[in-house]
Amino acid sequence: MLLTSVLLGALALPAWSLVEYSDAERETIVELVQQLQERHYAKLDYDDELSSQHLDNYIDSLDSGKMFFLASDIAEFEQYRTVMDDEIREGNLDAGFAIFNRFHQRLQDRLEQTVNTLPDAVAAMDFEIDETISLDIENRQWAKDKAELDDRWRKQLKNQVLSLRLADKPEDEIVPTLEKRYKRQLKSVKQYNNQDVFQIYANALTELYDPHTNYLSPRSTENFNINMSLSLEGIGAVLQMEDEYTKVSSLVAKGPADKQGELHPADRIVAVGQGEEGPLEDVVGWRLDEVVELIRGPKDTVVRLEVIPAKSKSTDERKVITIVRNKVKLEEQSAQKKILELPSGDETVKVGVIDIPAFYIDFDAMRRGEKDYKSTTRDVKKLLEELQEEGVDGIVIDLRNNGGGSLQEANELTGLFIEYGPTVQIRHSSRRVWRDGKRLKSPYYDGPLVVLVNRLSASASEIFAGAMQDYQRAIIVGDRSFGKGTVQTLIPLTEGQLKITESKFYRISGESTQHRGVLPDIEFPSMYDTEEIGESSLDHALSWDNISPIRHSNYGDLAPFLPAIQSQFQERSGHNPDFIYLEDQVALAQQTREIKELPLKESARIALRDSQEAKALSIENKRRKAVGEELLTSLERDDEESGEENEQAGIDGDEADAEAREEEEADDVLLEEAGYVLIDALLLKRQGLALAQDKKAAN
């Protein structure tokens, strides 16, 4: 390890702070590279070009905000750019550990300096000075010297203090809060070991293949089931780290957080409290497993999360969400039905809705040979029969927020709507392609069909929606889906495991669902930021491509009707106050995303916040005026008044939340619009048949 010693010697690091790799990790990295090259779908060679990318990605993994390394450090690391691939094949991890030890020293020094000078630094802050902090990290350059880096930290700390002040944190609690935060980070930093370093270094490589290929250290492997169980028992949320924040990746359908309704993907968790009254503990900078441990807890207990909403550009806006922990039950994820009665001219059309929150199947009951085991397809088949008996004119399948599940169920469900035929193509890294679908002819529902998707419809949802679109069996409406079209498998290594992408999904049209997702025939406004959510938002995601299509039937020949349906949708939505409201919210969110810097002058920051709130209030009042409701003077006041009215009416918070959710469901403008698209298709098809019959009679 001569190279490591030379690099670190200039820093005169104390021996106890050095982190060194083990013989087991030498063997593991050789195995990992071999598996990546032989079994990953992308078929990338770990060569000089990938070595160069590995170096950049590793440095970014350690210091994405350019807050610790100096430009001189980065220049020194150039010696590794094209040699890491050769060294790693021999089990040599010198480069990765040398770079980490430099980072480790910089990090410890900075945190210790921040903790030691925090009270004086905060006391010296002047919030009347007209200065800003840049949010454009991607274009930030490495600091030329320590003075430039010190100024970045001064501004970052000032921004944190200002955010706490504007979030109504008492002045005398600001320094203790930040002091506790940085001391906690410093304690975690001092606990870094060789497994932590190896995992960061290995994943800086695996992520270049695709974002779903990851190395799991022995500790991460042990915590993998714990983290997964958090999504099934606790609050029902999948979490990830982003910089110093714990970010909500997705919610489990019908889980406690999903049913509570206030926590959303891309929200950042900044504090966790136990029970209704327990103090909120700041978790900024904590390790993911430590935050998970705080959030998990016994069934029926309360956890409170303080979050920065996804739509907020700065960290000033905070929201406390109270969730009762519980276990996600299979029956709660079951498909549900309802009927929309929608006026159309002089008649009322009955539209059946089947909400499918997940593609589920009780494998254990199926293996035991139970006749009535639960599955998506079995439940939907029963609901279809009931809706037809109730005389509906067509069906809307609601797949919004359905993150997927059983591939088998996606295939089986497709079989309820086609006579027979393939559903999906799966291409292995060996380039062998096999097909799955409905093999035998059988009865199917052949009535009008619309499938509603959004940005959180993923995986199995995309397979079903794509098949329905390719067969021209249904009109797809909503937002572009998530775009996850890959399949992973776990490979044991000498130490830990490799989760690797081995296969890719393709539609029967030959198009991949990867990256692009399923594009709706009729596009609705999206409330989700595609730069934050979806496969295309992930670095190094595998690209969209296509393979040979499969010959298949076209059931509806819908293409000729789509222009007319699109025109009618635009005409209707252009006069719908709720749709206009959604579009205005999307436009405001886009404006917020374009903010590249925040003022550190308190009056300017408050003015920015007030401006954003005024725009949101204007959008709300525009909708209220259009529908004849009383205008608001403040969104915050409206929330307070609603709480007071509920209290006076004897309605507790849970009842009020339940009623609000019911009202939200009743006023679901997107679902209603999906129903109207179905009606348009139904009427156009009837008109087409009538014209065809008239033409036939005339001949």
User: Which residues are part of the catalytic machinery?
Assistant: 459, 470, 484
Cα 662 to Cα 261, 471, 657, distances in angstroms:
11, 35, 9
What is the distance between the alpha carbons of residues 660 and 638, in angstroms, rounded to a whole number?
A: 14
SS3 breakdown of the chain: % helix, strand, coil, rounded to 5? 50, 20, 35
Could you tell me the two tokens for 522?
Answer: 């009729």
Q: How many residues does the chain have?
A: 699
What is the distance between the alpha carbons of residues 210 and 216, in angstroms, rounded to a whole number?
A: 15
Could you tell me the two tokens for 224?
Answer: 């993998």
570's CB contacts (< 8 A; 6+ apart) are none
User: Taking a C-beta distance cutoff of 8 angstroms, is the pair 184, 286 a contact?
Assistant: yes
Following DSSP, what letter does each residue of 379-397 receive, concatenated?
HHHHHHHHHHHTT-SEEEE
What is the distance between the alpha carbons of residues 629 and 475, in angstroms, rounded to a whole number?
A: 34
Exposed (0-12), middle (13-18) or buried (19+): which is 252, by Cβ within 10 Å? buried
What is the distance between the alpha carbons of residues 474 and 447, in angstroms, rounded to a whole number?
A: 10
**Nearest Cα to Cα of residue 47 among 88, 11, 18:** 88
Phi/psi at 534 (nearest 5 deg)? 115, 160
Q: What is the DSSP letter of 540?
A: T
Q: Which residue type does 671 have?
A: L
Q: SS3 string of 4-70?
A: HHHHHHCCCCCHHHCCCCCHHHHHHHHHHHHHHHHHCCCCCCCCHHHHHHHHHHHHHHHCCCCCCCE
Query: Per DSSP, what are the bridge partners of residue 272?
Result: 281, 305
Crossing angle for the helix pair 602-627 and 635-648, nearest 10 degrees?
Answer: 60
566's CB contacts (< 8 A; 6+ apart) are 521, 522
Segment 565-569 long-range contacts (CB within 8 Å, at least 24 positions apart): 565/475, 565/521, 565/522, 565/677, 565/680, 565/681, 565/684, 566/521, 566/522, 568/680, 569/522, 569/673, 569/676, 569/677, 569/680
User: If DSSP codes are grouped into helix, strand and coil, which group holds residue 209?
Assistant: helix
* DSSP H or E segment with residue 304: strand 302-308
User: If DSSP codes are grouped into helix, strand and coil, which group holds residue 128?
Assistant: coil
Residue that has been written with the tokens 């004849």 in this structure: 628
Reported as half-sphere exposure (CB side, CA atoms, 13 A), residue 543 has a value of: 3
Q: SS3 string of 614-656?
A: HHHHHHHHHHHHHHCCCCCCCHHHHHHHHHHHHHHCCCCHHHH
Cα 677 to Cα 416, 458, 573, distances in angstroms:
21, 23, 11
